Structure 1
Amino acid sequence: MSNTDPLAPWEEYVDLLKPGAGLLRRTWRPDDPEYRADVYRQLAMNLSYAYFQYFQSDPLHPEFMPLWNSVYLLQPNPDDVYYYAPIDGRRRYRIAGDRGGTFLVHFQFGAGMMGMVYPPGRQINYLDARELDVGADGSFEFIASAECPPGYSGTWHPLDPACDFMMVRLRSYDWGGEADTRLAIECLDAPPLKPRMTAGDIDARLRSMFTLSERWSRLWFDYQVELLDRLGTNTFELNRFEGMGIQNQDYWTAVFDLQEGEALLLESDLPEQRRYWNVQLNDPYFNAVEFVYRQTSLNGHTASVDPDGRFRAVIAIEDPGVANWLDPGGFRQGTVFGRWMECDAAPVPTLTRISLASLETALPDGMARVTPEQRAAALRARRMGAQLRRRW
């Protein structure tokens, strides 16, 4: 790069991608060719995701951009649609829209977005849509700023001056059965016209974009390795993910390991009071396993509860004929993630290995079964419901 030209030759930016190949060494099985192929796919996924993060929006002219979803798979909750907007905590923002029928809408404010910085920064505060003043027509607005504007009588949310991002969770229980929430954001201190990017801006953003994978995937590959080393396989622990997770939510996590000829029986008590709960399967790279076309997750709306009040599910490569099948999508190793949100208890589930030959006799009589026709109908409802939600 010369003193007069702020742009480097294109190959210099492309070279920034090369260290990403070293991420394979941070996985559970770095010598496995299938792992290598999956990591290559993840690097391409992260690159497309990074364009939105660095080029589409800025704190003066923000937009709600797609974050983690069924395309950008780095452990999104399948029930959630996530959005991100860059902001400047020293400025004033107006967020407005239509509340719709989405089960939960949650705004999270912080400094240092995961993947954009390493290690990730901190969550600062939150706003639940239950705190909003929603009109009879579903419309709402709130102001987020360091100080409440004089004379403003609507919902106001305080911004820490260090805040540099807003993240939104739109959480559905009944996919396709809830009207989408619509959102818009504007900076009240900005000129209305968004300027053309300078060459210097593009240079800086390209450098961040091409290095995002090394920060983002490294964070979760290292987490998976640490989890396996500490817990082994098929054992759950509770975790709050302080600083990264949603408030009032306990996560239950385990590394699942499924050998040839085996199934895993997941069992759990259920809290008596439970605003929301779910369970999902992730692959060895912390991506949610394909969840539009496969039943890789269940929640309090879709899961069947046994007559004794407990939740049971079967993790198996092939359909075991139970309603609560968790399909690992061809993966024999990965992670199980569950959530108890605003519950009066946080039970720790169990995983038990069962041979496929003895599975039918090992399951309780009251556990709901499905016919092939019922499974086909459930999968169709799932894929149609997933697509009826706006995810990006």
Structure 2
Amino acid sequence: MTTEIGPLFQYLQPLEEAVNEIANTWRPDDPEYRADVYRQIMMQFSYGYFAFFHADAEHPDWAPLWNPVYTLQPNPDDIYYYAPISSDYSYKIIGNRGTVFMITFTTALSSSGMPWENDHVGTYYNDIDSGDLKTDANGDFELLLSKERPAGYEGNWLKIAEGARVLMTRYRSYDWENEVDPSMSIECLDTVPLKKRLSPEEILERIDHMARMPARATKLFYAMQNSVKNNVGVNVFEPAIYGGSFTRQVYLPAVYDFEPGEALIVETDLPAQRRYWNWQLNDPYFNATEYVYRLSSTNGHFAHVASDGRFYAVIAQEDPGVPNWLDAAGFYQGTIYGRWYDCDSSPTPTMKRVKVSEIRDHLPADTPIVTPEERAEQLKRRVRACQRRRRW
């Protein structure tokens, strides 16, 4: 019996639920906010095709996760990929690690291996990073994923806990210009049938997941940023949040707010041992602020550390002519996130609201001058470096 297929629009009605989430933004009556949220919904909806149609646990493949297009708060240093897996199977990843600063693999719970099918990805189980990964002299490696380590197996292995349905990998780069991204494949080691043609029912089910994804993702991320504001207010960093999808990573979030003619000074001590750290700006909807053509993030490789051993950044709309400018890209509200990864401490920064004309009064006296020519060259090199990474 053939399934009756109705008009396409009837399967897209859940998108309106995402529109209703405008009520949970900071300015629900602002037409600019409404237009931005519409754009966000289209971005999330378009990503849903990768999430729900591209691969399955029996036939895994890499799909892009967060990046400069699918901007749900990606770390600008990271290239994210996702593959559906199942604790019913074993998998092998074969590839070359390249020269990126770090690669990580994380398994997580999702009810059927599809991101955002529920209101959140779920419980994070196990992760491994390239500091633990054995490679040969050329950087080639194999990584086995299974519920149990095979007897006598001494190679790279990542446990798939019962119920895990998601594998997320990050290619984390410090020096965007000179590091080479990994190249790798994933395969199911069990005997499985050939990848089949989807039935009408399965296609409609996946379209429904696509239509529901924007509301589910938005509810999660709006709640996350609103909780920071509710907990500590604006222009104040919430003390370190441990874990998330990494067992070794600490997050430092704050909601920022300033007016034309003003800037924000971020100041922090640095851990003595700091394997990786960075800072990034997000817009008011938890999307990473444009970071290919804007200097809205920095990391431990690019950042200027002051003569007093501290880190100072300036959030501003116009170039302040100092190191560590975080370009707000037209937004006067948003969030800033810092990360300490594998560090021996997790200092909590401060944020100060100042007049643009007084920025240098709040920085060390020997803070260098960054000329317009130097800034233009910095941005030009950033654009080239980012475009040369495979992001989707």
Q: TM-score range by the shorter chain?
A: over 0.9
The alignment partner of 1:212 has SS state of helix
Name the structure 2 match of 1:111. 109
Q: Work out whether 1:80 is the aligned partner of 2:67.
A: no
CA-to-aligned-CA distance 1:244-295 (integer Å, 9 cap, x gap): 3312111111111111211111111111100000001100000010000010
Name the structure 1 match of 2:67. 69
The alignment partner of 1:95 has SS state of strand
Name the structure 2 match of 1:219. 220
Cα separation, 2, equivalents of 1:123 and 1:354: 40
Please list every run of 5 or more consecutive structure 1 residues that lacks an aligned counterpart in the other structure: none
* 1:98, distance to aligned residue in structure 2 (A): 0.6
Amino acid aligned to 1:138: G
Cα separation, 1, equivalents of 2:151 and 2:204: 40
Cα separation, 2, equivalents of 1:191 and 1:278: 42
* 1:338, distance to aligned residue in structure 2 (A): 0.2
CA-to-aligned-CA distance 1:7-58 (integer Å, 9 cap, x gap): 4442321223222210111111100000001000000000111110000010
Please list every run of 5 or more consecutive structure 2 residues that lacks an aligned counterpart in the other structure: none
Query: Superposed, which structure 2 residues align to 1:24-173 within 5 Å?
Result: 24-112=22-110, 115-149=116-150, 152-173=153-174
Q: Judge conservation of contact 1:238–1:250 (CA < 8 Å) in 2.
A: no
Q: Judge conservation of contact 2:242–2:249 (CA < 8 Å) in 1.
A: no
Query: Superposed, which structure 2 residues align to 1:1-392 within 5 Å?
Result: 4-5=2-3, 7-112=5-110, 115-149=116-150, 152-191=153-192, 193-240=194-241, 242=243, 244-392=244-392
Give the TM-score taking structure 2 as reference length. Answer: 0.95
Q: Judge conservation of contact 2:231–2:238 (CA < 8 Å) in 1.
A: no
* 1:228, distance to aligned residue in structure 2 (A): 1.4
Cα separation, 2, equivalents of 1:73 and 1:241: 22
Inter-CA distance 364–380: structure 2 relative to 1 (3 Å threshold): same
Q: Judge conservation of contact 1:235–1:254 (CA < 8 Å) in 2.
A: yes
The alignment partner of 2:12 has SS state of helix
The alignment partner of 2:131 has SS state of helix
CA-to-aligned-CA distance 1:361-383 (integer Å, 9 cap, x gap): 33321212210100000000111
The alignment partner of 1:211 has SS state of helix
* 1:155, distance to aligned residue in structure 2 (A): 2.1
Q: Judge conservation of contact 2:237–2:349 (CA < 8 Å) in 1.
A: yes
Q: Judge conservation of contact 1:315–1:326 (CA < 8 Å) in 2.
A: yes
Deviates more, 1:264-273 or 1:110-119: 110-119
Q: Judge conservation of contact 1:96–1:185 (CA < 8 Å) in 2.
A: yes
Amino acid aligned to 2:45: L
Count of aligned positions: 389
